[in-house]
Every structure is written in C-alpha cells, then in structure tokens.
Structure 1
Amino acid sequence: MAAWREGRHYMIKGKVWLVGAGPGDISLITVKGLNAIKNAEVILYDRLVNPKILDFAPDGCEFIYCGKLPDRHFLRQEAINQLMVDKASEFERVVRLKGGDPGVFGRVGEEAAFLAEHEVPYEIVPGITSGIAAAMYAGVPVTHREFGESFAVVTAHDKSVDGKPNLNWEGIANGIDTVAFYMGIANLPFICEKLIEHGKAPDTPVMLVQWGTYSRQKVLQGNLANISALAVKEKFNNPSITLVGNIVSLREKLNWFEKKPLFGRQILVARSSSGASELAERLAERGADVIEFPKWKYEIVMPDVQLLEKLPGFKKILFTSPRSCDAFFKTLKERKIDIRKITADLYGSSTTLSAIENHGFSALPKEQIDKDNVLIVGEESMLADKLSFTQQFGSCDFWITGHKVMDDKYLPLFERMLQEADIDTVIFPSSSSVRGLDQGLTNLGENFGAFLQGKQTMVMGKQTAAALNDFYKDHVEIAEKPTIESIIQLAEQVRP
C-alpha cells in the first residue's frame, strides 16, 4: 500500500495494532491483545504498561519505549505517531501497547487518525481501564443497585492553561453517583473543592488507589473534606485513581485482593533458564508482584559436519530434553538431510518421548538403552555430565543443539521494574540461578552482595544455599525441601 511523507512516495508494508495492556496485572490483558503481542515484530510501549507483559513477545521482537512522565517526555506524541508509520513501512505486524484501555485518556483517537491519514491499516484492541480494575481490586465495584447506578470516568488534568480540569462540575456533582478521576493527585484539593461547591456533601466517601492491581497497590480512604490532607500526610502519588461516591463504603466488606497470603510482597525470582516459571506463576497467584530476572533465550547451534556425516551409522540416539529433540529435527530440515537416513532406535525421558513421536518416530524409555555407539543429543549444559554419560553408555558422541544466553534486550525493562518496585525478597530456585543473577546484575552495573542487602533471601535446598555462600555470606532462609510448595510455604511464613 502506498503513502506519502514529506512529499515522498513510500510503501506501507504492514499493519498496526493499537492494544490496551490493562491496568498492571498482566493476566488482565485480553486474549486478542495477547495474541497481538505474541505475533509482534516491533512493540512501541508506554510507561504504564507492565514491562513483564513483553515476556510474551517472540524472540527478535524490537521494543521501543515511548514512556511519558508528567515533567518530561521520552518521546513526544508527534514522534510516536510518525514512528508507527515508519515501522509499518518496515514490518508487517506493529503493536502500539498502551496502559489500561487505549480509548480512555489514551490518545488512541489521535494515533488512529494519524494512521488513517497516512493510509496505514490498523486495529484497535480495547483493554480493561484502571478506573474499573483498580477499584475492583480494592474491593469496590463501580456500580451497585443500592449505592450507585451511574458511573463516570473523568480526566483530572486537561489542556487548561493552569492545569486545572475545566469540567461540567455541576453535572458531575449532581448527576453521577460514582466518579473515577484519573491521575488526580496533583489536583485533588481543587477537585474536592469544586465537588463540594457544586453540591456534593463534604462527607461523601473518597478512595485513592495507587498502582492498582499490582501487589504494591496502596489504598487510602477518606471523604471530600479530608482526603487531600490525608494524601499529603501519606505521600500519595500517581499513578492513582480517585473514586468518589457512597459506593466506596463497600470496601470493608468486599476487599478481596489484599487478603491474598503474599499481598504486598515484591519478589524477585532468579532465573537460569528460558520459558515459563511455575514458581513465578504460583507466587503471583498468591498475591505477590514477581520479577523474573535475568531473561534468557535459546540459540540453536549447527553441529560439526563430521557428526552429520556419521549420523546414519548410529544405532541409538538419546534425546535429553524436548527442546533438544525439536532443535535436532529443525537442523535436519534446514540442512535438507533426509530423515530416512536415521536408522537408530530413539530414546528419551518420559517428558521427551512425546516430542520424539511428534516428529513421526516411535521412541523408547531411556532406561532401555544399552551401551556403545550412542549419540546423545542435548544442550550445551549437558557437557558438565559428559563423564557420567560415558560411564553409563560407553562410547558416546555428543550433538550440541544449542545454548542459553542472556537476552540483553530486556535489561532496560528490568532496570525500570527494579526502580519502580521495592523488592523485599529474592528467591534462588537452583545453584545455576545464583550465577545467573550475578551475571545479570553485573550487566546492569549492580553489585550482587549490595543488591541482596536488606532483602529476605531464600533458596530452594541446601545445594543452592552452598552455591549462594560463594557470593553472599549473610543469613539465608532455606526451604525444608527443594520443591516449589516448600519455598512458597517458607515465603508465606517468613516476612521481611
């Protein structure tokens, strides 16, 4: 598709998805929004997007931070608009990721209009807006038959010269039961004054919710007469929503999120592998904010040519993991090697057998393999057990399918997360995670020991504790058993 820019004719290659990421809890993104992220080639994301959601992006996806703060802009809106068009001329799938719902004070109308003007195809994917989600996570539905049948979302700052919102205060004060003001902390005294001036009772309940839907969520309750003073006393800041209405009184009965056993905990899980972490998922389910660091990616490597030539002669092939099995067959396909040349019996662990069968081969449990003339297929880390393999199987050859490397693309994201969160607990699931965190912190310019100071440090077993002792000599909590259940139980019992 052709378009024009600065008098020049150029081609639009792709399409832009304007996606609402939700309010913070990454599980609140829509299925359609998540699919857009999973298929994106480039993502332009805002400050209020939880960076953790970018974990779902494919390898090789380009990240561009467009974050804006009240006192400064990383990229101005005009530059963001043009960047979307530029990227759509380079890539087929461009995602513009915005916090909350892009249509609720997210300037999606301006961005969509710019794309339409430049003939760039686009879709708008709604998200859950923070005025509803933050209130619900604080225990307050925004409508209720007994307390409020009307609800409005209102910006607390607009284009007014003095920065004070120029609104229909009489209509808001007298015609709406429940009002959610977005980013209203700076103008809170003005908002309360105007609502009282136009008829709202001074004792009307008010609730402030900061970082709504995160475990670091903070809630402050008061009324129109005193909430401004309370906010100053408690040093309340944005990002916050201000909910005004009698419906706020329901919080005491309906507060559910803050009752989770790990609510308020900011936990860093040290990672040493790629893929999803069951431990991180389980901790988040129980209410914690979880940062997984560092981020790793898997790189496939090509085997030695001589090994490829020897492939038809092997009588037994042992795959050490499903990923190594998939990488093996992917390499054969890329090298155009006829799989009919494989005459060996194939073996694997219980989790690997199905991966082998998915490639059209029958397989046997690894316990049935006998000695000599064995090709062992696995990741580079298996070489640490090379002696054990040769003792068990005799004559062996090793096909290294790939290795994991730290994905430095995510380092700026982690830096932002660590700045905004207040990590109180660090969990090491394995010995290798100790070395991984040390490497990751070094790449961020952080000292390992200094980072752990003042934080609750937990390890999953004595072997991991011994590995950590080489780096850190202070007190460490050791889970009774090297299991996920045991480390979660320890986290719930021992508070920072």
Structure 2
Amino acid sequence: MKSKGKVYLIGAGPGDPTLITVKGLELLKRAEVVVYDYLASPKLLKYVPKEAEFIYAGKKGGVCHAHTQEEINQMLVDHARAGKIVVRLKGGDPFIFGRGGEEIEELVDAGISFEVVPGVTSATAAATYAGVPITHRGYTASVAFITGHEDPTKESSSIAWDKISTGIGTLVFYMGIKNLPSISKNLIANGRDPQTPVAVVRWASTPAQKSVVGTLANIAEVVKEGGITPPALVVVGEVVNLREKINWFEKRPLFGKRILVTRTREQASELVRLLEDQGADCVEGATIAIEPPDSWEPLDKALTEIADYHWIVFSSINGIRFFFERMNANGLDTRALHGQKIAVVGEATAEVLKEYGVIADLIPAEYTGDGLAKSLIDQGINGKKVLIPRAKKAREIVPETLAQHGADVTVVPVYQNVQPKGYEKIVAELESGRIDMVTFTSSSTVSNFIEMIREENKGRLLNNVALACIGPITAKTAEKKGLKIDVQPEIFTIPEMVESILDYYAK
C-alpha cells in the first residue's frame, strides 16, 4: 500500500526547546521532511531522524527571506503529494500571527491531509519569563494580542486604537520593535496614560533573553539605549509593575553566563542540563567523539574466557556501554557474569552499570584511577585475573599498579576517543569574547581542546575565560598545558562540579 502524505503544522514554542508539546515532539521523531522557521529552536532538530530532509524557511523581521510564503506553501503540498510525512515547524503558536491559517488554506485547496499542533505562544512566554503575569485579579481582567507589524504609513489602521487603548487591561504587541514609537503615540493619543508601564522582552525563554522596562512615554528610547532588536515582544499594562517582585528567570545564578562544554555529545547532556537549570547558556563543543575500537578481537577473546576472570574493572561510562553492547552482540547477557566481581571508578559509573542489571561490588572512596587501584589492592588482588575494558588510549595507572601487586591483568580496548571535525565555530565564539567559562571532564578533553584551538592561540583565546575541571587528574593535565584552573570540586562528579561553578560565581 502506497503511503499517503500528510502535513503536521506544529508550534515549536517561544524558544526554549523543552516548551514544545509532547505531541509535537513525537511527530518530529517521525518526520521525513521538516520545514522550519528562524524562531524555532535549532535544538529541536536533533529529534528528527537523520535521514529526513531539512528545509530552512526563516524570516527575520520581514526581510532576509529564505523562501517566499508562496514557495513555502508549494513545498508543503509537493512533499505531501510525494507521500512524505511533513512537519512544518513554526515558532510560538502557528495560529497566532504565524500565518498558519494561510498555509492550511493552501493544503485544503490542494486536498492534502493535515493536523495542527498548538504551541506555547510567544506572548505568554515573554511575559511569564520576564516575571509579568498578563492577567491578575488585582490589576486587569482582560488581555489582547496585537500585531505591531502594521505599516505606519498606511492611510488607515486595521487596529481599533480608540477601543484597545483604554478598553483592554494588558496589551501584548508581536513584532513591534520597529514600530514602537508609533505604537506608543497611538495609545497615548487615544487616552492611555503616558506613565503606563511597558516591558519589552527579547528572545524570551532562552539564555539570550533580555528585558527592559519603561513607560509609554519613554519606552522607545529605553529600547534603543538597551540595544533591544527583534525578535521581541512588547507588554503594556499595570501588570508590568509585578516584574520587580516576581521576576524569576533572569535572577537564576548563572543567567547571562555562556559556558563551553567540551564533553562528548553523548555524555554532555547531564552537565548541560544542570548548568542550564541554573540559567547558563551552554555551548556544546565536544573535543572528543566516541567510536568503536579498530578491532573487537581482543574483547571477543576475553568474552570467551570470561569465566576465568575474578574481577572486571570499569573506569568509564563508555567502557560499560560498549562492553555490554558487544557482549550482547556475541549472544551473551548478564548471566555470563555470575562468577565475577565488578569494580567501578565512581557513583556515576555505578549508576550506569545498574542500567544493565548489575550492581557494583566495589566503588572507591576516591573517584580516581589511583583510588580505584588502591581499593582493589585492599581487596587482595595478588594472583587474581583482572579484565579492564577501557578506551584504546588511557592512563596506565590502574593496570600497572594492579600488576605490580601480583594481579594478572588483561586490558582490552572497547572504544576509542577521536577528535571531531569542524571546531571553527567554537574558535569563533572564543574570538568574540562571548565565552565566560570552559569546562573539562577528562584529561582527553583538555589535550584535544588545546590541540583543536592550537597551542599558540590559547593565551589569546582564553584571556578572561574561567576554567573548570572535574578533578585533580584533569586539572594536572590542564596545568601541564599551561592553563590556570579556577574551579575544581572536592568530590569528582558532574553535580559537584556544577555546585563548585555556582560557588565560583557567587563570590
């Protein structure tokens, strides 16, 4: 049966990718073609299958159109007729000043099947994230959403200024920055108090959010002085006075801090999430990409002899994941490990091990390779066979120390760290001076980072940039590279690292 194409018009929300609806996210995961806007968060595209076709159809302030509206309409029709699942991803809500109605009309005329998934509209998000409730029993019982994009040279306006100026409590203007002087003039001319408070919010709900507050009489000048440019929302009304009391988003401890995370993309999520929860603007610039080893033969051989080992030692999360994936590929599961004890380097590694139904027998008090080796020696390692699945290149402290104390150690590579390509954008970020801090979670991230930005550039690029390391081994590598470390937690975990970063900026 030939698949029938369908278009899903989805509101991406105001900017924060986590504000998309559950249904919208599920449909993105099924998309074969995605036509997305300038205001839709690029982070949402990572949920789309890699084999899908991506089409940028952004518009900035009415100019710099990637495609005309007519072209966009036709693209939706053509791809749906080709039997594709098409997602039209639009910022905010597609039916609130998003031209969603026009696109749906075209689909109806062409006989194309469609669905519309609402999104969190920019008006409510901008107000909420600026600490302004657009309705409040003590201030107003009415609100209106108005386009601020009308041509001020038109002979007559389609906006009933005489009605909304005094008849509506809270007014929210979309796309109103360019016409802000005209908006203020019309409201005042039609009876609104010139001292009515006004908030203007740019890039609402994102780490780049910036808000300014003024009155109808001076807001145009305040916006100009504050360097506020589109995209921005304008909120007019007495409710703006509540911002001083309930502004929450911009008061988070790391708000306004731009932090470069050098961890692998697969492992960066926890660190990024914890930093962003505190308001940081995270830039993901992985200095390591994880790949399988050149050959599985050493591990495969060890798996055939797995019953002979007394200990299996994991010093990384990646070591666990690749080990178990290969074990399963060889037709084995955790029952094959019934006679071995398992040691891990720390609590985070132990938690990942639990995902495979295995509880660690040994977790050292000190979460380092040295601490792991010492704890194993305390267990009595002499004469024991030890299997260490790890990265192709790693510190030799654990196998060498165990061997010196009489252990029969077998090291097998289960993955390798390679440098990702295309670090030019990260170098440009550092060049611009917009990075406040760089985080390192392993010696490899330090070494690769310095190599990727070039040794001779480190002094210039890292001038006035704070550096955070997860622990002493990573910090020692950084110091050998001539770097000065500003942040290092006493307990070598990601959550503790974030706590130390908070303490650093609280000083």
- Which category of TM-score, normalised to the shorter sequence, fits these structures? 0.7 to 0.9
Residue 114 to residue 431, structure 1, CA distance change in 2 (3 Å) = farther
| Alignment of 1:23 onto 2:24 | no
Residue 328 to residue 161, structure 1, CA distance change in 2 (3 Å) = farther
Letter in 2 for 1:209: V
User: Partner of 2:149: helix, strand, or coil?
Assistant: coil
Which of residues 176, 183, 197 is equivalent to 1:184?
176
| Alignment of 1:35 onto 2:26 | yes
Aligned residues of 1:375 and 1:399 also touching (Cα < 8 A)? no
**Matches of 2:439 and 2:419, distance apart in 1:** 19
Aligned residues of 2:77 and 2:107 also touching (Cα < 8 A)? yes
Q: Deviations over 1:169-189 (max 9, x none)?
A: 223223321111112111001
- Could you say which residue in structure 2 is the equivalent of 1:477? 486
- Could you say which residue in structure 2 is the equivalent of 1:434? 446
- Could you say which residue in structure 1 is the equivalent of 2:37? 46
Percentage of identical aligned residues: 36
Letter in 2 for 1:260: R
**Matches of 2:45 and 2:275, distance apart in 1:** 19
Q: Deviations over 1:348-398 (max 9, x none)?
A: 44445434438xxx9976969996776654554558679549837526362
Which of residues 42, 60, 66 is equivalent to 1:69?
60
Could you tell me which runs of 5 or more consecutive residues in structure 1 were left unpaired when the two chains were aligned: 3-10
Residue 378 to residue 93, structure 1, CA distance change in 2 (3 Å) = farther
Aligned residues of 1:376 and 1:396 also touching (Cα < 8 A)? yes
Q: Deviations over 1:204-261 (max 9, x none)?
A: 2211112222344222222222211222233321111111112212222222223322
**Matches of 2:317 and 2:489, distance apart in 1:** 30
User: Partner of 1:185: helix, strand, or coil?
Assistant: coil
Which of residues 206, 209, 212 is equivalent to 2:204?
212
- Could you say which residue in structure 2 is the equivalent of 1:451? 461
Residue 267 to residue 322, structure 1, CA distance change in 2 (3 Å) = closer
Within 5 A, what are the aligned runs for 1:220-259?
Answer: 220-259=212-251
Residue 249 to residue 163, structure 1, CA distance change in 2 (3 Å) = farther
Q: Deviations over 1:261-301 (max 9, x none)?
A: 22222222222351353332222222222222238665456
Aligned residues of 1:315 and 1:374 also touching (Cα < 8 A)? no
| Alignment of 1:156 onto 2:157 | no
- Could you say which residue in structure 1 is the equivalent of 2:408? 394
| Alignment of 1:107 onto 2:108 | no
Residue 88 to residue 487, structure 1, CA distance change in 2 (3 Å) = same
Q: Deviations over 1:122-148 (max 9, x none)?
A: 432222112111111211101112211
Aligned residues of 1:353 and 1:365 also touching (Cα < 8 A)? no
How many residues end up aligned between the 2 structures?
Answer: 477
User: Partner of 1:102: helix, strand, or coil?
Assistant: coil
Which of residues 465, 474, 493 is equivalent to 1:464?
474
Question: How far apart are 1:118 and its partner, in Å?
Answer: 5.0
Aligned residues of 1:52 and 1:291 also touching (Cα < 8 A)? no
RMSD of aligned residue pairs (Cα, Å): 4.4
Residue 305 to residue 138, structure 1, CA distance change in 2 (3 Å) = closer
Residue 479 to residue 330, structure 1, CA distance change in 2 (3 Å) = closer
Residue 207 to residue 58, structure 1, CA distance change in 2 (3 Å) = same
Range that drifts further, 283-292 or 450-459? 450-459
Range that drifts further, 453-462 or 169-178? 453-462
Aligned residues of 2:37 and 2:56 also touching (Cα < 8 A)? yes
User: Partner of 1:433: helix, strand, or coil?
Assistant: helix
Q: Deviations over 1:96-145 (max 9, x none)?
A: 33222222222222333444555554432222112111111211101112
Letter in 2 for 1:354: K
| Alignment of 1:145 onto 2:137 | yes
Letter in 1 for 2:130: A
**Matches of 1:193 and 1:138, distance apart in 2:** 24
User: Partner of 1:148: helix, strand, or coil?
Assistant: coil
**Matches of 1:301 and 1:373, distance apart in 2:** 23
**Matches of 1:64 and 1:224, distance apart in 2:** 40
Aligned residues of 1:18 and 1:102 also touching (Cα < 8 A)? yes
**Matches of 1:40 and 1:417, distance apart in 2:** 32
Residue 315 to residue 16, structure 1, CA distance change in 2 (3 Å) = farther
- Could you say which residue in structure 2 is the equivalent of 1:8? none
Q: Deviations over 1:420-473 (max 9, x none)?
A: 99433333333332245456668xxx9655433343333344443443345565
Question: How far apart are 1:326 and its partner, in Å?
Answer: 5.3
Letter in 2 for 1:394: D
Within 5 A, what are the aligned runs for 1:58-457?
Answer: 63-70=54-61, 71-84=63-76, 94-117=86-109, 120-158=112-150, 166-272=158-264, 274-294=266-286, 298-300=290-292, 303-304=295-296, 308=300, 311-316=303-308, 318=312, 320=314, 327=322, 330=325, 345=339, 348=342, 349=344, 350-351=350-351, 353-357=353-357, 376-381=388-393, 387-388=399-400, 391=403, 394=408, 396=410, 398=412, 400=414, 402-403=415-416, 422-438=434-450, 449-457=459-467
**Matches of 1:382 and 1:457, distance apart in 2:** 23
Letter in 2 for 1:22: G
Residue 326 to residue 288, structure 1, CA distance change in 2 (3 Å) = closer
Range that drifts further, 481-490 or 338-347? 338-347
**Matches of 1:413 and 1:45, distance apart in 2:** 22
Letter in 1 for 2:412: F
**Matches of 2:58 and 2:297, distance apart in 1:** 48
Residue 181 to residue 327, structure 1, CA distance change in 2 (3 Å) = same
**Matches of 1:338 and 1:495, distance apart in 2:** 50
Q: Deviations over 1:69-106 (max 9, x none)?
A: 23312343344444445655789654433222222222
**Matches of 2:123 and 2:432, distance apart in 1:** 21
TM-score (normalizing by structure 2): 0.76
Q: Deviations over 1:45-83 (max 9, x none)?
A: 322233344455566666543332233123433444444
**Matches of 1:334 and 1:114, distance apart in 2:** 50
Residue 263 to residue 116, structure 1, CA distance change in 2 (3 Å) = same
